[in-house]
Structure 1
Amino acid sequence: MNKQSSLKYILLSAMLFLTAAAEAQFHIIPQPVSLKAGSGSMVLSKAAVIGVNKETEPIGRYLQEYLNQNYGLATTVKVYGQIPAKTPIRLNNVWSNQEGAYTMHVSPVSVSISGNGAGVFYGVQSLIQLLPTDKGAPLKIAACAIADQPRFGWRGLSLDVSRHFFTVDEVKKYIDVMAHYKLNTFHWHLTDDEGWRIQIDKYPRLTEVGSKISYYAKRGEFRKLDNLIDDGRDGFYTKDEIRDVIKYAQDRFVTILPEIEMPGHSEAAIFAYPQLGCQDSTGAKHRVRMLDPGEYTFKFMEDVLTEVIELFPNQYVHIGGDEAEMVDWLKSPTAVALMKREHLKNEKEVQSYFIKRIEKFLLSKNKRLVGWDEILQGGLAESATVMSWQGEAGGIAAAKMRHHVVMTPLPYMYFDAPQANEELEPIGWNPPVTWQMVYNYEPQSKELTAAEAEYILGAQGNIWNEKIPNAQHLQYMVYPRALAVAELTWSPKSEKNLDRFGWKMKNQYGLFKLWNFNARLPDIDGIDNIVTNKTRLKLVMNYPLNGAKVRYNINGKMPDANSTAVPFPVNINVPLKDSIGLRTFTTWTLNDQHIRQTANIKRVSIKPTHEKPASLKPGMAYEIFKTRERDIAKLENEKPFETGVTNLIVPFKPVAEEYINWVKIKGFIKIDKEADYELTSGFEVSPALFVDNEEVIKPGFNTYVEPQKALLHLKKGVYALSGHYMADKANENQTLIELKTVGGDKLYPKFYLIH
């Protein structure tokens, strides 16, 4: 390389470094469609003017209140016909054919945000994320240019207030933080078995009695509330309170979707008005959660929905439809008579009849019906929108039928599940769901054609509050996972980047602290279950939040708040003879925020084989077994369905529902240079992997919940490799084995896999 070329190379490298460093300042969630770093930054003065026009004045007032309240500024809002170019912050209303689109330009002298309605508001949210979260620091805003618009129109988050009631102020704060991250649909679950939370003038006992289920349970007049961690929280919203919340949400461009459950999950309503309950001709006494499908019920629910519709201005009303105990109808004289009269063949068709009658009523009021995916059973109502919660199948079926769909599937979109190892987290439903699992979810299934995928309106995170008694606990369960929903529903699919999102997510905690918002703390990086052949454990524990402290033990005993705390980083360097149980208790800020983590470090002996590389062929040998057998040990003498050689990804072979694919792999890892190596799997649910017959990756663990890796010092040579896993759609495109030098780059499988 000559001097001129060398100089060009140095300059290019410097420019790339400076560009990367500049863009590292931008941790906006959701990721904008286009973001370009500028030069320098703007310093926002204490008395800055926010220039608005008539259309953007409410957003200007919102920003003024935010800046003055959170940073102690004295900004003012001025309304102009034409906003002067020298105004420090300019909010311009411009027409756009894309709802929610905006542009933002930050220079060393001003900030300009342009968009239509919601777009200007979303630009303001991006601006808020560019502000420092230290109130005492100068308010520097990095220069940049952003052009942005949402991918999906439905970016949702639910709140169940039936199991535990939440106050108006608590609901407003929930909406506030949604809006900060451009989530725009608040699904308000207002009725269920455990409580009726909305005032209905025509039927006052719904709130006089149905909102006080906890009170009546304590008196012995109502069943003991099951599944709750306590006796619940009674309460309801008056119509004036609901109007107040609706206005609050509208000011933040959030639409409220009310849910009135039917025909199941209706026990609170039935307790208030027993005539609603499903009749039983056998005279049996049992818990009644189903509405009787008679004219009294339909008139009652139409009256209720009329008052709901008068309150809520949005297009949709959610009527539930899930988990209906339809077999109860087979004992009801009303339902049996209905089946005969309408020629309905089974109870599922009664459900369809019920939903279609409610749909017809809603259409007469210019509203559209939303229901959970059970409303597909017995025949889907003509204009219904389906929320797919029992996995994706219902949503895929509805989209193929040309019905609109909101994807909310288990497990990815259910935030009542714990966020890490169940033993270390607050009690919840279902196996753990981490923010990585949420982020990796794609609402538009590959099973849909491009035309069918257009019927996917977006996605929504759900939270059910049997185990969540207060607002602080609620915030812990929903965030940071809701941030992943925000990005996967807003940002282009091509812009998804898990590592970048993780970095940006950790940068949100300054805002959470500013807002006094109890999001779950991030994990310590690198606390993994480790198998190693090294004689010492060397580990550096780092943490992304300044001021955090950790209490830890390596004797397998979990520390607590009374243990000695030390600041990060923490260096662990101890002899390793057998196994170590690392336990950590991390705290941050003063309101008792903490998380616990565990890792087990096991020492093994790994030796090379006597095989010579020259006698071996490239690739890894595999066998596929098509079987009903779920115990792989019983396949020892079975003949494989297929054999082959691969460089890592074994072709996925679809099988009938009752069959499964077991894959066995066998080969060697060829090491050309003695060094420390890290071996992991890219499977979300881990395979079993063995090196020299030592199990280094255990099967069946979620890599995000209980990460595993092998840290091995390997000499030059050949090491026996084997393993097995169950092949399915979840891992068909995932990487079975990842090998890299510690602190270095990943190695290419075609160079180290042989058989």
Structure 2
Amino acid sequence: MSNISIKYLTAIFISTCICLQVKAQLHIIPQPLRLTEQKGNFVLSRKAVIGVDKENEAVGKYLQTYLATYYKLNLKVKVYPKVPAAIAIQLVTTVTNKEGAYNLEVKPGIVKISGNGAGVFYGVQSLIQLLPGRAVAPLKLAACSIADAPRFQWRGLSLDVSRHFFTVDEVKKYIDVMAHYKLNVFHWHLTDDEGWRIQINKYPKLTEVGARITYYEKQGKFRKLDNLIDGGGKDGFYTQAEIKEVVKYAQDRFVTILPEIEMPGHSEAAIFAYPELGCQDSTGAKHRVRMLDPGEYTFTFMENVLTEVMALFPNQYIHIGGDEAEMVDWLKSPTAVALMKKEGLKSEKEVQSYFIKRIEKFLLSKNKRLIGWDEILQGGLAESATVMSWQGEAGGIAAAKMHHHVVMTPLPYMYFDAPQAAEDLEPVGWNPTVTWQMVYNYEPMSKELNTEEAKYILGAQGNIWAEKVPTAAHLQYMVYPRALAVAELTWSAAENKDIDRFAYKMKQQYGYFKLWNWNARLPDIVGMDNIVTNSNQFGLVLKYPLLGAQVRYSLNGKMPDSTAKPQLFPVKINTMLQDTFSIKTYTTWTLNKQHILQEAMIRHVDIKPVVIDQAAFTPGFSYRLIKSKEYNIDKVDTTQVVTTAIINSSTPMVLPVTDGNLTWVKVNGFIRINADGDYQLTSGFLVSPALFINGEQIIYRGKDKYAQPQKGMLHLKKGAYAISGHYIADNTNRNEDLLIIKAADGKVIDPQVYMFHQ
């Protein structure tokens, strides 16, 4: 058995770390359109003056408050008809071609930000990210020149306050951090089955009853809230005065608030307060009522509610939900059945469409526009409706093809109630793992749209649902750093995205998170991957990007506890390897009193070249494409083979069948190694394929490549190695690399060199 040297494993790990720690003074998120580093620094002194024109007086005071709050630096703001060129910090209005565009010049002695509308404010946010992440003296800003503008007009983040109530101060802080990263739409989910959170003067019981979910749960008068954690939800609602306060706070930060009033489903809290709103059952059956009755009383009620809502929110859109409506309830409702006969509606989906169109007509009469989840497409889309596509991209694509505006917010990429890493190591979540890398790699402009249709994509939004998010600290953990990825994918030009650069910049934000007392999830230890190796001895160096972090680790399969000695990074691990073992780590960042858990499996295999006549080799791997409804690979062989072909590069480009079947791909061939050496084998698939070398499994199918990264770290002698594998082809992996092989120097080997079959 040949050993992989500890030196090689360490080199691979260190090269990865170096890649992520490229020297850079500028770590602005989202990445500016054009950014040029200059020589020198601007030193911010206590004598500096913030000079503004009248249009930017509020932004100047915002910057003044920020510097005083976080750096104890009290600067004067002076308003000028024309800001003098000698003023240290200049905020000036200029005409730009795009809303939100700005220019930022940092020179020794002068900082100048120019733009119109929100542009100067966004320039200030970039300036803030040039400041150090802690209050040190003197404050130095790297000299640079930035010309910037947003890619999308809708850069959103939601907050569900129905399932768990968050205070006005907690909401304000949420908006503050959004604004730091140029996110500009705050989607406020104010009503749902679990709670009604907005005061409506005409209907006081909506908050007297509908907002007191904890009280009524204990009385047995409200459904048991078993999908909530932390002992149920919190009572509470926002008065109209508080709503106005939050709206003004957001406006000062150029954030638009989108209020959501759920209908016709998800309305249990409203129905509990006013039972006459509920959909009646003509059979007399008793069950939960979450659907609004489609009668005139309901429409009058909701119009009165929306009238008060519109008076509070000056923005263009009102979100009416429309999702997950239990429309079959209408088929037993005398009111709904009568409505279907009167209007000639043929199905419950057409009742849904009728309901949405009635509300749309009312909103249009008040110069407002309706936006709803993609279920509002069912039965016919309202004429001017905007669609928020959450059930994947299909609804958004369909709406854009119909020339309706769309906000892309699809599962799984934009759902932050999902865990951020392996589920057993993270707070409980609703959906499979969604890492920040998955969010960052999402592209709102689907390739299925032509140039004209793509114009209807307004942008994208990250969503958080609070059934399992009981506190503000937990909320912050779930949303960040993933929200940073939303900020960059919606602001930055597509050609400017660079995931390695973003990873570096993201880690630089933790100084600001500490400054703001913001509980973002900590970054992972780099290199904690599931590894298959044929080495008899295993070596690893654990490194961490945050100063002051410590780690406790174990190699015995148990999570280290308080008896394990904490160690400062870097940590060297060397151990003999004969079988499988796990590395478990408990990392703490003492500066912010946070921790994170990780686990990696190290498995030992025996892999040697196979003796075979390589003269008969033909370039490429062979594959069989099989269509089946069977999810079990062991049963797939009995189904129909659609085609056989040759894969001539590492990217398979297998198109999935579209007849309702799964598209199974079974791969066979040989890897030809031309020189003895150490090699790293990985797959580029987001959801990994199964890959075997000489019958030994190297990559396990179904693992998320970011949450559960897998590598083969093998010493391979010159010769041939049998490869086989299988996966389900889909639109996610069709353009990804099935197999990536790197040499010891980190260089990727050309697939044409090693891919063969007989």
Separation in 2, partners of 1:692, 1:144: 54
Structure-2 residue corresponding to 1:156: 156
Amino acid at match of 2:353: S
Q: Deviations over 1:53-91 (max 9, x none)?
A: 000110000001101110011211111111111211111
Contact 1:23 1:36 in 2 (8 A): no
Structure-2 residue corresponding to 1:74: 74
Q: Deviations over 1:283-316 (max 9, x none)?
A: 1111111111111111111111000011110000
Q: Identify the match of residue 690 of structure 1 among 681, 692, 706.
A: 692
Which deviates the most, 528-537 or 213-222? 213-222
Does residue 741 (structure 1) correspond to residue 750 (structure 2)? The answer is no
Aligned-pair CA distance for 1:613:
3.8
Contact 2:21 2:504 in 1 (8 A): no
Structure-1 residue corresponding to 2:269: 268
Aligned-pair CA distance for 1:541:
0.6
Q: Identify the match of residue 656 of structure 1 among 658, 663, 679.
A: 658
Does residue 113 (structure 1) correspond to residue 87 (structure 2)? The answer is no
Amino acid at match of 1:315: Q
Separation in 1, partners of 2:563, 2:467: 30
Structure-1 residue corresponding to 2:122: 122
Unaligned runs of 5+ in 1: 1-19
Separation in 2, partners of 1:508, 1:613: 53
**SS state at 1:46 partner:** coil
Structure-1 residue corresponding to 2:6: none
Structure-2 residue corresponding to 1:38: 38
Separation in 1, partners of 2:330, 2:595: 48
Does residue 397 (structure 1) correspond to residue 435 (structure 2)? The answer is no
Equivalent residues in 2 for 1:481-520, closer than 5 Å: 481-520=482-521
Does residue 560 (structure 1) correspond to residue 561 (structure 2)? The answer is yes
Q: Deviations over 1:416-445 (max 9, x none)?
A: 011011101001101110001111111111
Structure-1 residue corresponding to 2:628: 627
Amino acid at match of 1:71: Y
Q: Deviations over 1:322-372 (max 9, x none)?
A: 111111111111111111111111111111111111100000100000111
Structure-2 residue corresponding to 1:140: 140
Amino acid at match of 1:701: K
**SS state at 1:736 partner:** coil
Q: Which has the higher contact order (CA 8 A, sep 6+)?
A: 2
Separation in 1, partners of 2:336, 2:641: 53
Does residue 665 (structure 1) correspond to residue 667 (structure 2)? The answer is yes
Aligned-pair CA distance for 1:653:
2.8
Contact 1:531 1:601 in 2 (8 A): yes
Structure-1 residue corresponding to 2:278: 277
Equivalent residues in 2 for 1:436-585, closer than 5 Å: 436-561=437-562, 563-585=564-586
Structure-1 residue corresponding to 2:607: 606
Structure-2 residue corresponding to 1:421: 422
Structure-2 residue corresponding to 1:374: 375
Q: Deviations over 1:33-58 (max 9, x none)?
A: 10111111111112311110000110
Q: Deviations over 1:69-124 (max 9, x none)?
A: 10011211111111111211111111112000001111111111100020000000
**SS state at 2:619 partner:** coil
Q: Deviations over 1:699-721 (max 9, x none)?
A: 11110111100000112222222
Taking a change above 3 Å as real, the CA distance of residues 415 and 580 of structure 1, as seen in their structure-2 partners, is: same
Structure-2 residue corresponding to 1:171: 171
Aligned residues: CA RMSD: 1.5
Contact 1:612 1:718 in 2 (8 A): no
Aligned-pair CA distance for 1:611:
2.1
Structure-2 residue corresponding to 1:49: 49
Contact 2:48 2:76 in 1 (8 A): yes
Equivalent residues in 2 for 1:189-200, closer than 5 Å: 189-200=189-200
Aligned-pair CA distance for 1:22:
10
Does residue 753 (structure 1) correspond to residue 742 (structure 2)? The answer is no
Aligned-pair CA distance for 1:724:
1.5
Separation in 2, partners of 1:657, 1:194: 40
Separation in 1, partners of 2:653, 2:378: 35
Which deviates the most, 335-344 or 589-598? 589-598
Equivalent residues in 2 for 1:637-656, closer than 5 Å: 640-645=641-646, 646-656=648-658
**SS state at 1:729 partner:** coil
Contact 1:23 1:37 in 2 (8 A): no
Contact 1:162 1:194 in 2 (8 A): yes
Which deviates the most, 247-256 or 214-223? 214-223
Q: Deviations over 1:465-498 (max 9, x none)?
A: 0000110000000000000100000001111111
Does residue 185 (structure 1) correspond to residue 208 (structure 2)? The answer is no
Aligned-pair CA distance for 1:561:
4.6
Amino acid at match of 1:402: H
Which deviates the most, 351-360 or 135-144? 135-144
Taking a change above 3 Å as real, the CA distance of residues 247 and 566 of structure 1, as seen in their structure-2 partners, is: same
Aligned-pair CA distance for 1:137:
4.0
Amino acid at match of 1:204: P
Aligned-pair CA distance for 1:23:
7.4
Which deviates the most, 222-231 or 20-29? 20-29
Q: Deviations over 1:559-614 (max 9, x none)?
A: 13553211111100111111111101111135541111111101000000112444
**SS state at 1:595 partner:** strand
Separation in 2, partners of 1:657, 1:707: 32
Separation in 2, partners of 1:414, 1:628: 28
Identical pairs, percent: 68
Separation in 2, partners of 1:665, 1:28: 43
Taking a change above 3 Å as real, the CA distance of residues 640 and 285 of structure 1, as seen in their structure-2 partners, is: closer
Contact 2:350 2:378 in 1 (8 A): yes
Contact 2:183 2:255 in 1 (8 A): yes
Contact 2:50 2:78 in 1 (8 A): yes
Contact 1:113 1:120 in 2 (8 A): yes
Amino acid at match of 2:45: S
Structure-1 residue corresponding to 2:703: 701
Taking a change above 3 Å as real, the CA distance of residues 243 and 562 of structure 1, as seen in their structure-2 partners, is: farther
Amino acid at match of 1:715: K
Separation in 2, partners of 1:492, 1:372: 27
Q: Identify the match of residue 710 of structure 1 among 709, 712, 715.
A: 712
**SS state at 2:129 partner:** helix
Amino acid at match of 2:731: K
Contact 2:627 2:639 in 1 (8 A): no
Aligned residues: 736
**SS state at 2:698 partner:** strand
Q: Deviations over 1:379-431 (max 9, x none)?
A: 11100000011111111111111100001111110000110111010011011
Contact 2:627 2:640 in 1 (8 A): no
Separation in 1, partners of 2:21, 2:591: 32
Separation in 1, partners of 2:585, 2:253: 40
**SS state at 1:329 partner:** helix
Amino acid at match of 1:107: K
Separation in 1, partners of 2:734, 2:744: 27
Aligned-pair CA distance for 1:458:
0.4
Structure-2 residue corresponding to 1:131: 131
Contact 2:628 2:640 in 1 (8 A): no
Separation in 1, partners of 2:628, 2:643: 12
Contact 1:48 1:74 in 2 (8 A): no
Contact 2:88 2:110 in 1 (8 A): yes
Amino acid at match of 2:660: E
Which deviates the most, 57-66 or 21-30? 21-30
Aligned-pair CA distance for 1:636:
4.1
Contact 2:113 2:120 in 1 (8 A): yes
Question: TM-score, normalization: structure 2?
Answer: 0.95
